[in-house]
Amino acid sequence: MKKIVSHYLTQLFCILFAIASSSAQSYKTLSTEQKQVFRLQSQLLLKVADLNESSIHNLLASKKGFAIEYVAKSDLSLIAYFLKNKKKITLVTNEKLTTFLEKYPSVILIKPSEIEHLNLQNTVATDRTEILFKGLEELGSINFSKNETLTDSIVYRLWQRSGKIPNFIYADSTSIAKNSKVVSFLNSTKKIYGVAKTDEKLLKNVSFKNFPNRKANGYFSYPLYFAGKNPILIPYKAGYYFSPDIIYATYENMENQKEFIGFPLDLTFGLTDSFEFDKKVSNHVRKNTEDIISKQVLVVKDAVHGKVGFFSKRAYIDAGIESRSALKTSFTITAWIKPTELGFAHSILGKGAHFVLKVHKGYLTFTMAGIKDYISLSSPIPLNKWSHISLVYSEVHNELYFYIDGKKTDTVPLISNYITSDHNLFIGNDLWEEFFIGYLGAIKIWERELNSSEIFTQFSNRNVADKKYHLNLFLGIGFSILMSILFIYRQKRIKRKATLKPIKKTPQKPNISSFEAYKVQLFCFGSLQILNENGIDLAQKLSPKLKQLFLIIFLYSAKEGKGITTKKLTEILWPGMDAKSAKNTRGTSIQNLRTVLSSCSELKLLFLNKHWFLEISDHCFCDYDVVNNYIALLSDEQYNKNILEEKLPTLLALLKRGRLFASSSARWLDPHIEKFSYQITKECFLYIDSLSVEKHSEIILEAIEIIHFYDDLNEKALQLKLKILIYQGKLSLARLLYDNFSKLYKNIYKENYSITFENSIS
């Protein structure tokens, strides 16, 4: 090898060349079009040390470019020789090589971290071997130069299923000829290509509904030939919807990049059933309480979950005739369970012969009669302890996913397709009378597949989602309390309107004692709701972008009573867009928002004093304003204990609906949420400091619950709650709380919680 390099060095020293004034390009600095071309091509990846004289001559004779993995400074001589012979070369290295690359600006520099590497040298490959690219890196490489079992058909299938062509295929002097044929085959194959992403990031593990065993991780490409027919691409990812949601690929449009933009689904989307226990069991979605039949189920008070159902002996619930339409396709079930017996089989939910979710010999199990008991041995259910269980069925993948306490514990492929039934849904029972013995809390069913993040949200916010607090928050609250709130609320409105001369004052609020009497209601805690005079939630009609537009104008209007300038609005929502495009897009979006709000007479989107402003009539209830008025009032009263006893329950009831804008997510929104989180956490601790455990333990526990909405790993709140539970004599419950906190801490930080239970309560 040294003789070969010396031979070429001698020739190099005899060649006169000019030093280029420009520098080599890195992959990151390539234009969008150049990157696209690069992603769709394959090339050999070589190491100088692996080449002999014959292979060097063959590379020089070839018309194709190739890549070299730079290892040592001695590599530069041969690399320079290739470049002088007008070979197109890509260098894979972390080194800058500034001096060398100044001479050769045609070189493209790629860092190893920008490439997903698959080392297949020791993989025993067959047609059944599952080899996949799984990362979001735009480029991929494979190394199988010494692996005789790995054929070109397996490489082709790797591309076909991963959605990522092997951009670099390692070769040495013995495998250059063979691997060059693979490269030529891949490059000559017609492709369909595109990207799956959100507005902010590339999306991982996107499937295509009618083409199983294919994944897309951000940028993707596939062979255009799909089993004799052109593909219809229907992207799918749990927890998202896509725009466009379908593209028919043809030879005519294959040169166009297919772009699928994913938007997170609202947690309420697809929710078909939400069973909770109050005076009796009710379904907050179907609202068919009168049709639900409850047999011997007792509603009892639980210190952790409030009111729950106790199932003893032959107790069960028939969810009514409307429940026959549940669990037809992909579905998700979440439930809080606390079994007091763990025998052979105890049914949590049953629906006909082919759907039973139960605890079988202490393990979470799904049964399809006559087909199989899918027993998840990695999903044990403890006795006499609350567990949050979830079962997800993915129709697209024909798989079951088991979750315990927000964590996926098992993935089980079904041996046959899921079979639905037209029978009623039973809670705590099934057709074999396998009765559940113990306690059941909230049970929810979605007609869609929730992703792991959504499942974890359900576990961590067990008392947040879909509560009907907003239906009865003010019922029973004294008239004098409400009037003091209304007075403060009206004064704030008057001050705001004084800064906006052109706005006419709206009439004074009517004398009412419940927010339900307001013509229009705007709820910001929990999921955004904009209820008009007819009770229609206009927020459901807003696209993700329109919802952001509404929230921006609302927050800036509430913040200083002035609104937001056009320039600021554009910078936040349409950064980087040229002025003309931004103007057109902004105008269309504002017009669309006004159209949606037109059915709500108490909300008006105005442009005044060069600011976009949301005018909220005094006949509109807005929980965000009321909460801030309460916070100001309690602060002004210096957290007087008597005032806290009177006002704090109402404030906490409002906050219990959930986190501020819980279902909305955007970078610009994060500072607003963080500021409010800090404020409400600080205020809640001030409320707690002014109260006594002996007299106010329940209201302190509610304040701690609000703190955990915004900071579920707040150690001070944990210690306070533990001390209250110990004071109340609930040692086992305190221990359970500590254990759940420790599990959550480890799940997030990947390390054990260092403070022991004993130290936490000392």
Higher per-residue confidence, 204 vs 106 = 204
Query: What is the residue whose two structure tokens read 């070189």?
Result: 107
For residues 531-544, give the mean pLDDT. Answer: 88
Of 166-170, 449-453, 540-544, the one with minimum mean pLDDT is 540-544
- Kindly report, residue by residue over 219-274, the tens digit of the pLDDT: 999 887 655 566 789 999 999 999 999 998 877 787 889 999 999 999 899 999 99
CA distance 216 to 259: 12
CA distances from 290 to 89, 109, 280 (A): 74, 69, 10
Which 8-state DSSP code applies to residue 391?
E
| 489 within 8 A of 512, measured Cβ to Cβ | no
User: CATH number of 271-465: 3.30.1360.200, 3.40.50.300, 2.60.120.200, 3.50.50.60?
Assistant: 2.60.120.200
Tokens matching residue 509: 């609020």
Lowest mean pLDDT among 7-21, 204-218, 265-279, 513-527: 7-21
The answer to whether the CB of 418 falls within 8 A of the CB of 354 is yes
Instruction: Return the minimum-mean-pLDDT range out of 113-127, 203-217, 680-694.
Output: 113-127
Q: How far apart are CA 555 and CA 580, in angstroms?
A: 26
Instruction: Give dist(CA 611, CA 405) in Å, integer.
Output: 47
The confidence score (pLDDT) of residue 193 equals: 93
Which candidate, 494, 381, 426, places its Cα nearest to that of 273?
426
Q: What does the pLDDT read at residue 380?
A: 94
Burial (CB < 10 A; 0-12, 13-18, 19+), residue 567, is exposed
Quick one: average pLDDT of 2-8? 42
Instruction: Determine the 3-state secondary structure of 36 from DSSP.
Output: helix
Helix axes 715-727, 731-749, angle to 10 degrees: 170
φ, ψ for residue 20, nearest 5 deg: -70, 145
How many other C-beta atoms are found inside a 10 Å radius of the C-beta of residue 3? 7
Residues in the chain: 762
Those residues with Cβ within 8 angstroms of residue 754's Cβ, 6 or more apart along the chain or in another chain: none
**What is the model's pLDDT at position 16?**
29
Which token pair is 721? 């709650």
Q: Residue 642, Cα to own-chain centre: how many angstroms? A: 43
Q: How confident is the model at residue 474 (pLDDT cuts 50, 70, 90)?
A: very low
Confidence of residue 499 (pLDDT cuts 50, 70, 90): very low
Give 21's pLDDT tier (boundaries 50, 70, 90): very low
pLDDT, residue 493, reads 52
The residue-averaged pLDDT of 98-127 equals: 85
pLDDT band of 516, cuts 50, 70, 90: low
pTM: 0.58
The tens digit of pLDDT for each residue in 393-433 reads 999 999 999 999 999 999 998 888 888 888 999 999 998 89
For range 7-36, the mean pLDDT: 59
DSSP E strand boundaries for 461-609: 520-523, 529-531, 603-608
Q: 724: which 2 tokens?
A: 């209250």
Neighbours of 740 (CB within 10 A): 18
Backbone angles phi, psi at 222, to 5 degrees: -135, 155
- Give the pLDDT score at 489: 53
Q: What is the mean pLDDT of residues 634-655?
A: 89
Fold of the CATH domain 471-622: Arc Repressor Mutant, subunit A (1.10.10)
Contacts of 699 (CB under 8 A, 6+ apart): 645, 648, 649, 652, 691
Has residue 515 got a pLDDT over 80? no
Q: Which of 41-55, 125-139, 453-467, 620-634 has the lowest mean pLDDT?
A: 453-467
Distances (CA, A) of 143 to 41, 180, 657, 721: 17, 13, 54, 56
Strands 43-46 and 66-69, by their bridges, are parallel
Please report, for residues 162, 281, 398, 561, the alpha-carbon distance to residue 116 in angstroms, rounded to integers and kept in the order given.
Answer: 12, 52, 28, 51
User: How far apart are the C-alpha atoms of 94 and 427, rounded to whole Å?
Assistant: 60
Task: Specify the range with the lowest mean pLDDT, choosing from 248-252, 474-478, 663-667.
Answer: 474-478
Q: Judge whether 268 and 697 are in contact, CB under 8 Å.
A: no
Integer Cα distance of 694 and 437 in angstroms: 35
Q: Report the Cα 761 to chain-centroid distance in Å.
A: 35
**Residue in this structure with the two tokens 């200083």, named with its chain if needed:** 560
Q: What is the model's pLDDT at position 471? A: 39
Tell me the residue type at 249: A
Indicate whether 472 pLDDT > 50: no
In this prediction, residue 487 has a pLDDT band, given cuts at 50, 70 and 90, of low
**Lowest-confidence region among 464-478, 645-659, 675-689, 717-731:** 464-478
- Number of neighbours of residue 646 by Cβ within 10 angstroms: 15
Give 555-601 pLDDT, tens digit per residue: 998 876 789 999 999 999 988 888 888 888 999 999 999 999 998 88
Among the listed residues 717, 751, 710, 754, the one whose alpha carbon sits nearest the alpha carbon of residue 737: 717
CB 346 within 8 A of CB 362: no
Residue 433 CA, chain-centre distance (Å), reads: 38
Q: Is the pLDDT of residue 524 over 50?
A: yes
What end-to-end distance do the CA atoms of the chain give, in Å? 73
Q: Which residue has the higher pLDDT, 761 or 468?
A: 761
Specify whether the CB–CB gap between 630 and 680 falls below 8 A. no
469's CB contacts (< 8 A; 6+ apart) are 653, 654, 656, 657
Sorting pLDDT into bands at 50, 70 and 90, what band is 727? confident
> Could you tell me how many helices (H) and strands (E) the chain has, helices first?
20, 38
Residues contacting residue 658 through CB under 8 Å, at least 6 positions apart: 461, 464, 465, 467, 525, 526, 527, 709
| pLDDT for residue 239 | 94
**22-189 CATH:** 3.20.20
Cβ-proximal residues to 142 (8 Å cutoff; 6+ apart), any chain = 117, 118, 120, 155, 158, 166, 168, 169, 170
CA distances from 342 to 312, 339, 347, 422 (A): 13, 7, 11, 29
Query: Order of strands, edge to edge, in the sheet holding 25-26?
Result: 25-26, 108-110, 89-92, 66-69, 43-46, 168-170, 139-143, 115-119
Q: pLDDT tens-digit profile of 189-202?
A: 989 999 999 988 99
Q: Which range (88-92, 399-403, 517-521) has the least confidence? A: 517-521
> What pLDDT shows up at residue 730?
85
Q: Do 684 and 699 meet the contact criterion of CB atoms below 8 Å apart?
A: no
**What pLDDT score does 128 carry?**
57
Phi, psi at residue 192, to the nearest 5°?
A: -115, 135
In the predicted model, what is the mean pLDDT of the chain?
84
pLDDT in tens, 322-371: 999 999 889 999 999 999 999 889 999 999 887 999 999 999 999 887 67
pLDDT at residue 500 greater than cutoff 70? no
Q: Looking at residue 537, what is its pLDDT?
A: 87
**Cα(68)–Cα(525) distance, integer angstroms:** 56
Q: How far is CA 353 from CA 297, 366, 372, 398, 415, in A?
A: 23, 12, 12, 19, 17
Selection from 327, 293, 328, 528 nearest residue 427 by Cα? 293
Per the CB < 8 A criterion, the answer to whether 282 and 275 are in contact is yes
Q: Does 312 score more than 70 pLDDT?
A: yes
b/e burial code for range 32-54 (CB count within 10 A of at least 16 → b): eeebbebbbbbbbbbebebbeee
Q: Look at residue 24 in the predicted model and tell me its pLDDT.
A: 67
Q: Lowest-confidence range among 118-127, 175-184, 428-437?
A: 118-127
**Residue 154 in this model has a pLDDT that exceeds 80:** yes
Which among 253, 241, 165 has a CA at the least distance from the CA of 203? 241
